């Protein structure tokens, strides 16, 4: 597609659009220049914010890639379509029973578990397969007719089908789908997740079915408004709108996944590929590790439900710029997970919010200057922020500044805990990495979090406030294919594994070709899930042949668990990742200059003896540096360069931070 710029001109454009809980972010790239925008999200009708942002950038048409929280919010808030769950006789309570795991092991009165599907919507058919997919009892006409009658009486909007061992033989699920698809949104487990574990497969299929109608309606409205576009999925690639309408479960981490693509992209430009990342938005913070590649997991959990389709491996916590501060019944200060969201937003946004948030605390302390413009054009309200923080201070029996400091201390400790979960708890030393922050609020907290983890290097990438939208521009069209096989490794040959991989490749390549990808440009990455026989958990091992698979598994098991066993192993699942070509894109480079850069203003910041300079990030040449304290801001984000830290801009405008206190800790 093309887009209209100045009257009479037409310029090829790529546009990334990331809809978050608080803001919707835009990055437009014309091959040479980037333009960015940030508008308030419109949760009741998310497409309105998209069209508003495109209008603000004067974009009529473009190659657009979109990431959205519509699926995630619907799952977290319980806004599902009424969905019937269809399985084999005797197994209708599997989703209710789950794994019988206790979230609070020692709680005397644990909170009741969510029941995903009410018992009256759990239906059964008289069909059975054996443990290798062989048909024991076929699906009869009478059983199918009875199911159709029962569904007609219940009148659900969607149907999730999950039959035993359908990942070996899906004929019964296909027959059910053909019979029901004209009347309901149907999701079958053999298409959503062709893997073992009936509970995880069933929950994932139910999530896909229950979110499908809502996501489909939203994508349809957006397509009517902006034309064709691509959708970001949870494994850091893109897919077509039609694929997204069928696979709503693959959109649960679309925005965060794009953020990791953007982080990897700018990290490579800055020659920093071993990253610990945190994406701090208005509502939540996402934490991840990147070692060149973006790690995936099939053991994700969202809203208390296991989501077994592959997705980026990250940890999410309810801490963001809009997180609300409150004093609990015991008189202790707490921050989050409740958020002011986009409406009304933090008190300083001047939209009617009255409760103190993390953003209000930063503004009261002077780290977010009063002259800052929200999204580059909307003035902030210092008086409203002060009033909101004063209310917290009064409850705590302290003054305004102490209350604001307390709010930041609490939220920083929560985020530092999340960073430790993804690093220290996995045996990774964060001091050996660069802490890369992004999201609209990340730059205000990066120095404090690096200090908390003893890290000496940090990075605030150019356009950090809209990095997820930037990541969408460089994301590849991709698929993650899988098939459970459950075979003893000793009985498997290379040729048999390759045959399974060939089947997956044929299916995945056909899907990518249908979305316009040239088959000659598709690259593949194969792996096996392997475990000791008798174990329930498996490790993902890159496929290099069965001889290597044995050795690689034993080594990986010892590295992760501290021991290896002289026991037989089995291959659980065969996986294949397929991806189209990468976009040949780089960021505009900045010229070096020896001339000094004047600050836009000098502001009072609590705890600093002198007024602190405020610099316009867009005016900083390559090689510019400053010691903290200093403030650097652009239209979509503000960075607090704390005392004890120094910052320098690289060729692309990334701000590289170095601790002046801990430089000897890690070379």
Task: Write the pLDDT tens digit of every residue in 542-601.
Answer: 999 999 999 999 999 998 888 999 999 999 999 999 999 988 888 888 988 878 899 999
Domains annotated for the chain, with CATH where assigned, are: 3-75+217-231+243-251 (3.30.420.40), 80-211 (3.40.50), 255-474 (3.30.420.40), 476-579 (3.30.1490), 601-659 (no CATH)
Residue 546 to residue 498: CA distance in whole angstroms? 10
Contact criterion met (CB below 8 Å) for 449 and 20: no
What string of DSSP letters covers 396-450?
Answer: HTS-HHHHHHHHHHHHHHHHHHHHHHHTGGGT--GGGSEEEEESTTGGGTHHHHH
CA distance 630 to 614: 6
d(CA 641, CA 463) in angstroms, rounded, equals 17
Q: How far is CA 629 from the centre of its chain?
A: 32
**Which pLDDT value is given to residue 276?**
97
221 or 74, higher pLDDT: 221
Determine what percent of the chain is predicted with pLDDT higher than 90.
78
Query: Quick count: other Cβ atoms within 10 Å of Cβ 542?
Result: 12
Please write the tens of the pLDDT for every residue from 97-135.
998 877 778 888 887 778 899 999 999 999 999 999 999
Over residues 361-390, mean pLDDT: 91
ω into 344 cis (within 30 of 0): yes
Residue 5: its pLDDT value, please? Answer: 33
For the segment 41-47, the average pLDDT, to the nearest whole number, is 90
Cβ burial of 104 (10 Å; 0-12, 13-18, 19+) is exposed
Most confident of 17-26, 84-93, 311-320: 84-93
Q: Could you give the 3-state DSSP secondary structure of residue 184?
A: coil
- Whole-angstrom Cα distance, residue 598 to residue 614? 9
- Band (pLDDT 50/70/90 cuts) for residue 9 is very low
pLDDT at 74 over 70: yes
Choose from 3-17, 373-387, 499-513 the range with maximum mean pLDDT.
499-513
pLDDT at 3 over 60: no
- Kindly tell me the number of DSSP H helices and DSSP E strands found in the chain: 16, 38
Terminal-residue alpha carbon distance, the chain: 48
Burial 338-367 (b: 16+ CB within 10 A, else e): bbbbbeebbbbbbbebebbbbbbbbbbbbb
DSSP codes of every residue in 343-363? TT--GGGSSS--S-BHHHHHH
CA distance 40 to 341: 10
For tokens 């002046």, name the residue.
Answer: 660
Burial 647-661 (b: 16+ CB within 10 A, else e): bebbbbbbbbbbbee
Flag the least confident range among 215-229, 248-262, 289-303, 491-505: 289-303
pLDDT at position 329 over 90: no
pLDDT at 12: 65
- CB atoms closer than 10 angstroms to residue 491: 10
Q: What percent of the chain has pLDDT over 70?
A: 97
CB atoms closer than 10 angstroms to residue 238:
26
Q: Which of 44, 95, 53, 21 lies closest to 214, judged by CA?
A: 44
CA count, 13 A, side-chain hemisphere, 504 = 26
pLDDT-derived band at 11, boundaries 50, 70, 90: very low
How does pLDDT run across 405-444, given as a tens digit for each residue? 999 999 999 999 999 999 999 889 999 999 999 988 999 9
Tokens of 333: 């200060």
pLDDT for 1 equals 32
Question: What b/e sequence results for 607-634 when a residue is b if at least 16 CB atoms lie within 10 Å of its CB, and e otherwise?
Answer: ebeeebbbbebeebebebebebbbbbbb
For residue 7, name the pLDDT band (cuts at 50, 70, 90). Answer: very low
The per-residue pLDDT for 22 is: 77
Q: Are the CB atoms for 11 and 28 separated by under 8 Å? A: no
Burial of residue 292 (number of CB atoms within 10 Å: 0-12, 13-18, 19+): exposed
The confidence score (pLDDT) of residue 376 equals: 66
Q: How far is CA 578 from CA 235, 257, 313, 513, 526, in A?
A: 11, 16, 18, 11, 9
DSSP code of residue 293: B
3-class SS of residue 247: coil
Ranges 17-31, 70-84, 368-382, 503-517, most confident:
503-517
Mean pLDDT of the chain: 92
At residue 568, the pLDDT reads 94
Nearest C-alpha neighbor of 41 from the set 345, 431, 289 = 345
The reply to whether omega before 136 is within 30° of 0 (cis) is no
* Distance in angstroms (rounded) separating the CA atoms of residues 278 and 459: 11
- Extract the tokens encoding 148: 């159709």
Mean pLDDT, range 325-337, rounded to an integer: 92
Whole-number Å distance between alpha carbons of 246 and 177:
13
Q: What's the pLDDT tens digit per position in 608-633?
A: 999 999 999 999 999 999 999 999 99
Which pair of structure tokens corresponds to residue 658? 């170095």
Are the CB atoms for 34 and 28 separated by under 8 Å? yes
Q: Is 615 left (phi over 0), alpha (psi -120 to 50) or beta?
A: beta
Determine the pLDDT at residue 663.
56
Nearest-angstrom CA–CA distance, 207 and 153: 22
DSSP secondary structure code for residue 496 in this structure:
H
Q: Which residues of 10-30 are buried (b: 16+ CB within 10 A; e: fewer)?
A: ebebbbbbbbbbbbbbbbbbe
- Please, which residues bridge with residue 592 across strands? 622
Residue 317: strand pairing partners: 285
Mean pLDDT, residues 464-486: 95
Q: Mean per-residue pLDDT for 269-287?
A: 92
- Kindly list the distances between the CA atom of residue 575 and the CA atoms of 163, 203, 485, 504, in Å, as whole numbers in the listed order: 22, 20, 11, 8
């Amino acid at each position: 597609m093309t887009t209209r710029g100045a009257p009479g001109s037409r310029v090829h454009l790529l546009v990334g659009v990331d809809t978050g809980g608080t803001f919707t972010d835009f990055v437009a790239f014309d091959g040479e220049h980037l333009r960015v925008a940030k508008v308030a999200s419109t949760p009741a009708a998310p497409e309105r914010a998209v069209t508003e942002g495109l209008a603000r950038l004067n974009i009529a048409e473009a190659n657009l890639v979109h990431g959205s929280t519509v699926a995630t919010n619907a799952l977290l808030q319980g806004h599902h379509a009424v969905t019937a769950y269809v399985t084999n006789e005797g197994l209708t309570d599997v989703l209710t029973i789950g794994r019988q795991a206790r979230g609070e092991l020692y709680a005397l009165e644990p909170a009741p578990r969510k029941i995903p599907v009410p018992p009256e919507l759990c239906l059964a058919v008289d069909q059975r397969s054996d443990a290798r997919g062989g048909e024991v009892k076929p699906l009869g006409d009478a059983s199918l007719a009875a199911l159709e009658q029962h569904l007609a009486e219940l009148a659900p909007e969607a149907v999730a089908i999950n039959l035993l061992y359908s990942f070996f033989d899906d004929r019964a699920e296909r027959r059910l789908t053909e019979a029901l698809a004209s009347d309901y949104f149907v999701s079958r487990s053999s298409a959503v997740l062709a893997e073992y574990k009936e509970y995880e497969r069933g929950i994932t299929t139910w999530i896909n079915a229950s979110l499908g109608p809502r996501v489909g309606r939203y994508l349809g409205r957006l397509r009517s408004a902006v034309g064709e576009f691509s959708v970001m999925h949870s494994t850091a690639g893109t897919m077509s709108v039609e694929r997204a309408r069928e696979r709503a479960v693959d959109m649960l981490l679309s925005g965060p996944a794009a953020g990791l693509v953007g982080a990897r992209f700018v990290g490579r430009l800055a020659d920093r590929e071993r990253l610990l990342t945190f994406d701090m938005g208005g509502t939540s913070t996402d934490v991840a590790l990147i070692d060149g590649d973006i790690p995936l997991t099939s053991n994700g959990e969202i809203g208390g439900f296991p989501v077994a389709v592959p997705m980026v491996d990250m940890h999410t916590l309810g801490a963001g710029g809009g997180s609300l501060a409150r004093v609990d019944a015991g008189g202790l200060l707490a921050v989050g997970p409740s958020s002011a969201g986009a409406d009304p937003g933090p008190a300083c946004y001047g939209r009617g919010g009255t409760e103190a948030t993390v953003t209000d605390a930063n503004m009261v302390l002077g780290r977010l200057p009063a002259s800052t413009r929200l999204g580059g054009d909307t003035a902030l309200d210092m008086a409203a922020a002060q009033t909101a923080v004063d209310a917290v201070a009064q409850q705590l029996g302290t003054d305004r500044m102490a209350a604001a400091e307390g709010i930041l201390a609490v939220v920083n400790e929560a985020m530092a805990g999340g960073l430790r979960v993804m690093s220290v708890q996995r045996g990774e030393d964060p001091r050996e990495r660069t802490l890369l922050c992004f999201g609209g609020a990340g730059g205000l907290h990066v120095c404090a979090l690096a200090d908390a983890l003893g890290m000496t290097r940090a990075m605030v990438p150019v356009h950090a406030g809209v990095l997820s939208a930037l990541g969408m521009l460089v994301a590849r069209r991709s698929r993650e294919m899988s098939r459970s096989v459950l075979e003893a490794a000793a009985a498997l040959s290379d040729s048999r594994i390759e045959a399974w991989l060939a089947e997956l490749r044929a299916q995945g390549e056909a899907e990518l070709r249908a979305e316009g990808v040239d088959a000659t440009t598709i690259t593949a990455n194969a792996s096996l899930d392997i475990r000791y026989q008798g174990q329930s958990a498996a490790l993902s091992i890159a496929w290099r042949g069965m001889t290597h698979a044995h050795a690689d598994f034993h080594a990986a098991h010892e590295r992760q668990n501290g021991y290896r066993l002289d026991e037989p192993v089995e291959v659980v699942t065969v996986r294949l990742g397929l991806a189209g070509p990468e976009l040949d894109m780089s960021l505009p480079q900045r010229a070096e200059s020896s001339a000094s850069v004047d600050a836009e203003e000098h502001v009072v910041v609590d705890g600093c003896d002198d007024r602190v300079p405020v610099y316009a990030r867009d005016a900083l040449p390559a090689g510019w540096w400053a010691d903290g304290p200093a403030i650097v801001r652009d239209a979509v984000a503000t960075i607090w360069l704390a005392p004890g830290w120094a910052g320098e801009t690289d060729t692309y405008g990334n701000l590289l931070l170095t601790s002046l206190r801990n430089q000897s800790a890690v070379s």
